[in-house]
Every structure is written in structure tokens, then in C-alpha cells.
Structure 1
Amino acid sequence: MTAAEPTILATSGGLAPSRRLRWEVGPLTDYAVELAGVSGRAPRVCFLATAMGDSSELIKDFYAAAVHRGFTPSHLALFPMPNIDDPRELLLSQDVIWVFGGSVAGLLAMWRLHGIDLAMRDAWQAGVVLTGVSAGSICWHTGGTTDSFGPRLRAVTDGLGLVPFSNGVHYDSEEQRRPVFHSLIADGTLGPGYATEDGAGLLYRGSRFIEAVTEKAGKLAYYVSRSPDGTVTEQPLDTRLLRAP
């Protein structure tokens, strides 16, 4: 089963601490799986660590966390070469595609080199739920703030644009994220968009923003836009607390 319409859950979270594993699946990722509407079988979840250079350790951690949660796991790696013959077929066969953080600029370059950008759009339109954290959040948007180019935050403006907004991540945990996001919207480098504190996520259906959710009490999401006079307005959003399964 797939989502009734194209669905994205873009987050600054989705992982949880664990006593037995390096980390576990968090409520945001559980919510992405719930959105896929799977019943009668284990949800199929495909993991992409492109933004971390397809770290084998990270992929191993994902498999452990996915099996622990009862998912049917798979992964798509592009370094040093694709790990499967037909990435598009793999992505279209999933219930959820989960994209990890790291270098969003590197992620976008590698995806375009291998046609994964087009395959992601096809999967999204087919009802596969797209989710991810940090770089795995920004990538679905028109752009956002990134440290892909070095420690000083800069704009990335060539996101996939599946949703017509910019995106700010780690809005409360990295002190430059908020002011840089504001300044890039103020000068027109980025269009209006949504930002998430660590633990919060943004649900989109098609190109429409639906709701903000959080796996951590008190964490918020925001809508940030430029007024006609050039000033930036930040609006806190009602952010619904998700319950752990």
C-alpha cells in the first residue's frame, strides 16, 4: 500500500537513543511509516546515506534499528558505485524512503549524476513516503542553509523542489542557523519557507504544507517569510506532539 497522495515528512530528527543499539527509530520516522498506510506485512523502508558518503557503519546501524522496529530494510548506496542494478525499481518498490543527513550539496550532486533525483520524483508521485533528517529534509525543498561548503553556513538553492519552499534545519541547536536563514530570505537568495527545531518535522501532501509535528515536547516549527518592506517575519506553528509507539 502507498500513501493516498504524494507525501513528505521533512525533519530535524527521527532517531532515538537506545540501550541496546547505537540508535533506534524515533517517533518522527515511525510517523512516516504510519503515513504509508501499510497493513498485514512489515513496512518496506529504504535508507540512503548518500550525504554521509554511504558510510558502511551508518548503514549497518540502520539495518539493526530497522529490524528491531520490525521493518523490512534495504538501502541504496552510490559510492563507489551503485549497489544495485536498478535504483529506480528499488525506490518505487518501497513504502518509505529515509534519507540521512550530512552534505546536502554532495547528496544532490550524486543523485543527479545517477538519476536518483528523477527516481525520487517518480517514487513521490507514486505514493512512496519520503522522509529524512537535515540534508534529508532540505533536499525535498527548493533550498536551505547548509555547511556542505565549510563551517560557515551558506545557501544551497538547487534542491529537488518537490515542495515550493525553502527549509531551515537544526533551528535551535546551531546558533547561526536561524540568523542565516533569515538573512537569506531577506535578501531573496531563498524564498519563504519552513524551519524545524531539533525533534520537529514538517508534513507535506503534494505541494501543500499540512502540519508540524514533534517527537520532543516543546520543540517547534516555524514559517519564515519576507514582508513587502523587506523585513523577515517568523511565525511559530502549532506543533503536534507525537507519541512513541
Structure 2
Amino acid sequence: MPVERTILATSGGVRRGERTFFEFSELTDFAVELAGVTGRAPRLCTVSTAVGDNPFVLHALSEAAKIAGYDHTHLQLFEMPNVADQAEHLLAQDVVWVMGGSVANLLAVWRVHGLDDAMRAAWEAGVVLTGVSAGSICWHSGGTTDSFGADLQPITNGLGLLPYGNGVHYDGEARRRPLMQRLVADGALPESYCTDDGAGILYRGTEFAEAVSELDGAGAYHLVRDSDVAVETALPIRRL
């Protein structure tokens, strides 16, 4: 039976906790469910390259994983990798969850350390890949980012595991939607999938499978180019 390659790309999955700074929310729970683990705690590895492996974030995510009951590790690249073999470490996981932040920096640092190839190997082996914001855009060909400053700019050198553009925070940041539409209309980005805050897109292999949400009213959208115009279609979405 062939391995199923799975990505859940989201604008959510983590929130402020009641007694901890962070707690994982329904989108991350769904990603763990997709891994199909039974009889033991799910192995979840968090990756916070996009915030420079900020120690506070590492601690907060570790707390969130503990209260969720996950067997948690964190893959760090600053100041040096914390594991000897990154690919081996990722292949031992059920889920890899990537934190938001600077997607431009994330991609550059991953490539320096060969983590781009390790992520592809994990995906091809059936490890579920997921994350929020930068941790969503990274799997695609590109999207919109504030990595370079307050004015949003395109990013077009994503890992390309998925042959689409990706728009995050589609309803949460006013400039995201018009820029995504312009980039698709101009051909700078290909066909794209976009998520409101609290929504996610599930891909099986490289194909769209479904849109899901952890917040009432959160939407997901499909953008295609037609005669130099971006045509946006709201996708049916399942509330988790």
C-alpha cells in the first residue's frame, strides 16, 4: 500500500492558553488525527526557525505539547542544529508542526542546513506536515509575506512540495487578499489556496482534499487566473 503524503496548511492551530502561553487548537489536533497513531502518544516535532528559535517560543510550544499529551521534540537550527541527523529525526515523527514568523528567513536557513530536503523526505515517507502562517506558505510555491518589512511583498521560492500559491491571514490582514489576487492575476503566483484565520487546507499528495476550520465563519478560497484577472471562489469548508 503506497504511503499517503499529507499536508495541512493553516492560518491557525495554536492559540493563547488558559494556564499556559500557548495551547494547540483543533487544526493541530486534526493534523495529529491524520497521522493515525494508535496505542501510544503521537510524536510531534515543532520547528520555530521562522522566529529564530526564540527560547520563549520553544518553551511555550513545549508546554502546549505537554498538555496536549504529545511526545514532543523541537528541531532547532540556532545557534547550531540540536540533532546530529535532521532527516533521521524528522522521519521518526508522526507530525511536523512549523511555527509562523519570517518565511523568507525560514526558507534560507532551511536550505543552508539541508532541511528542505529533509522535509521533502519526511513528507514522502508519510509524516504529516503542518503549521501556521510561514509554516503554511513554506510548503507551497509562494505567497505573501511581511518578511522584508511592513509592506507586504511576494515570496516565490517556497519548497514547492505543493504546486500552488498560498495566502494566509486572508481576513485578518487587510492587504493580504488584494496582493494575492494581483499576484495570481499577473502570473507571479500560480493557482492558489487561501485561508482566513482559523482555517486550513488539507492536501493529499499534491491535490486539494478539503478545507476545514476551527473558528465559526472562517473561510477558505481558491484563486485562478483567467484573462489576466484573478477569479476567487469560496470553498466548501468543514467545521472541526
TM-score interval (norm. to shorter):
over 0.9
1:140 aligns with 139
Letter in 1 for 2:209: I
Letter in 1 for 2:41: A
* Secondary structure of 2:139 counterpart: coil
| Distance in 2 of aligned mates of 1:221 and 1:191 | 17
| Distance in 2 of aligned mates of 1:63 and 1:12 | 20
1:231 aligns with 229
1:77 aligns with 76
| Distance in 2 of aligned mates of 1:93 and 1:131 | 16
* Secondary structure of 2:169 counterpart: coil
| Distance in 2 of aligned mates of 1:73 and 1:118 | 22
- 1:219 paired with 2:218, answer yes
| Distance in 1 of aligned mates of 2:103 and 2:225 | 24
1:121 aligns with 120
Q: Considering only aligned residues, what root-mean-square deviation do their CA atoms show, in Å?
A: 0.9
Can you list the C-alpha shifts for 1:101-126, whole angstroms capped at 9, x where unaligned?
A: 00000000000000000000000000
* Secondary structure of 2:161 counterpart: coil
Letter in 2 for 1:25: F
Letter in 1 for 2:116: D
* Secondary structure of 2:184 counterpart: helix
2:24 aligns with 25
Q: Could you tell me whether the CA contact under 8 Å between 2:48 and 2:100 is conserved in 1?
A: yes
1:189 aligns with 188
Letter in 2 for 1:237: L
Can you list the C-alpha shifts for 1:166-197, whole angstroms capped at 9, x where unaligned?
A: 00000001000000001111111111100000
1:86 aligns with 85
Task: Return the offset for 1:42.
Answer: 0.2
Task: Return the offset for 1:17.
Answer: 3.0
| Distance in 1 of aligned mates of 2:237 and 2:149 | 32
Task: Return the offset for 1:4.
Answer: 4.4
Gaps of 5+ in 1: none
TM-score in terms of structure 1 length: 0.96
Deviation above 6 Å: which 4+ runs of structure 1? Answer: none
Task: Return the offset for 1:16.
Answer: 2.8
* Secondary structure of 1:162 counterpart: coil
TM-score in terms of structure 2 length: 0.98
| Distance in 2 of aligned mates of 1:232 and 1:185 | 6
1:164 aligns with 163
Letter in 1 for 2:215: K
Task: Return the offset for 1:230.
Answer: 1.2
Can you list the C-alpha shifts for 1:11-45, whole angstroms capped at 9, x where unaligned?
A: 00001332111121100000000000000000000
| Distance in 1 of aligned mates of 2:100 and 2:70 | 20
Q: How does 1:171-186 map to 2 (within 5 A)?
A: 171-186=170-185
1:240 aligns with 238
| Distance in 2 of aligned mates of 1:130 and 1:41 | 20
Q: Could you tell me whether the CA contact under 8 Å between 2:14 and 2:24 is conserved in 1?
A: yes
Can you list the C-alpha shifts for 1:137-165, whole angstroms capped at 9, x where unaligned?
A: 00000000011111111111010111110
Gaps of 5+ in 2: none
| Distance in 2 of aligned mates of 1:114 and 1:14 | 26
| Distance in 1 of aligned mates of 2:38 and 2:3 | 14
